[in-house]
Amino acid sequence: FLGHSYMNLSKKELPLVILTGHRKSGTSLFHRLFDGVNSINLYPTDLTVLYAYFSCFTAKKDVSNKELKERLIYVVKNSMEYSVKQGLDLTSKNNFLNVFESEIQKIDIRSKSDVIYAICNSWLKSKEVTFEASPFVVKETSQSVFFEDYIKEFPQLKMISLIRDPRDNYAAISAGVDQYYSKFGENDLKALSSHINRARMDLISAKINQENYPDSFMAIRFEDLIRDTKTTMKNVSNFLNIDFEESMLSPDISGKSYKGNSFEGISFSGISNQNIGKWKTRITIESAKVIEYWMVDVMDYWNYDLEFSQICSQAEFSKFYEKYNCEYFYHDSFSK
């Protein structure tokens, strides 16, 4: 990672680090542990463009380059608002956006790697970074399945995926269905359906990538991060070839203590273990059985013990499947 000024780094040289994991698996907390670390450069918020711009928007056949640029700028600008509310000064935000609007004139705005590179480069230029190159850390959910695509474009890439007990993970999602996810058309059935497929995808891709790219891909369990933060972050530091710093033990945002983003309105200072293993009181037994049935193999791989027998979970999953099938897959071939 050493030996160049960022101003001269190409995509092939950029020491990009992507933090990822399924939604509500603890990625925001993990991201905040890098705030204020001297040996890295940190993009202060989610990249956002990897789900709000790519690829559902860019895949539209009738969208023009002008519309794409407008959408891209809109997404990046709005994604910065959270950081501003948490303490990022407006000058930093505005300087970054001005540089970014200039940088995207030089790239293929339909290319993921070009857009990621433009965001990184714009942030560094706006901060006037001129020292020796350090890892540039960004965060986005559910990116491990794209790992091989990214490493072709960014050979220096290191990706770290956060793994969480899928029952606890769903409990965190379920808590936000009524007040948050319902705004985007999600109900309990859609949230659970999404979770068993997308969380499973993340757990499988983390397994495959870590086994095949151990020097470039690392998976850590949320539970280990919470229960033994120091050991876990020392392992992360070794993986990134940077010095461990005590600041990695305290989640901050723009230099201020990070209070978490629980849908239940629970505010905590530092790192809290209060929801580890609490799925039994946070979700229904029926939902837990559905999750266990669909994820039995990856739960075993990541050392999460089952609570129910597979035959018992299958009986529950069959009931879930009837609703799942009717909602998403059934087609009435007898209709006129």
The model's pTM is: 0.93
- Cβ-based neighbours of 7, under 8 Å, separated by 6 or more: 124, 125, 129, 130
Question: CA 326 to CA 336: how far, in whole Å?
Answer: 19
* DSSP string for residues in 293-318: HHHHHHHHHTT---SS-HHHHHHHHH
Question: CA 89 to CA 96: how far, in whole Å?
Answer: 11
Q: Coil, strand, or helix at residue 162?
A: strand
pLDDT at 306 over 60: yes
* DSSP string for residues in 73-84: HHHHHHHTHHHH
Q: Coil, strand, or helix at residue 35?
A: coil
263 pLDDT band, cuts 50/70/90, is low
pLDDT at 8 over 80: no
Taking the alpha carbons of 68, 69, 73, 76 in that order, is the dihedral positive or negative? positive
pLDDT at 2 over 70: no
**With DSSP H G I counted as helix, E B as strand and the rest as coil, what are the percentages for the chain, rounded to 5?**
50, 10, 40
* Pairing label, strands 41-46, 217-221: unpaired
- Cβ-based neighbours of 244, under 8 Å, separated by 6 or more: 233, 234, 237
List pLDDT tens digits, range 94-149. 999 999 999 999 999 999 999 999 999 999 999 887 655 789 999 999 999 999 99
Question: CA 118 to CA 101: how far, in whole Å?
Answer: 9
Q: Which residues pair with 160 in a beta bridge?
A: 19, 218
pLDDT at 3 over 80: no
List pLDDT tens digits, range 81-95. 888 877 777 888 899
Q: Coil, strand, or helix at residue 259?
A: coil
Task: Tell which residue, 115, 122, 130, 106, has the closest CA to residue 43.
Answer: 122
Neighbours of 16 (CB within 10 A): 24
Q: Which of 118-122, 254-258, 281-285 has the lowest mean pLDDT?
A: 254-258
Contact, 31 vs 47, CB < 8 A? no
The helix or strand, by DSSP H or E, that contains position 168, with its residue range, turns out to be helix 166-174
262 pLDDT band, cuts 50/70/90, is low
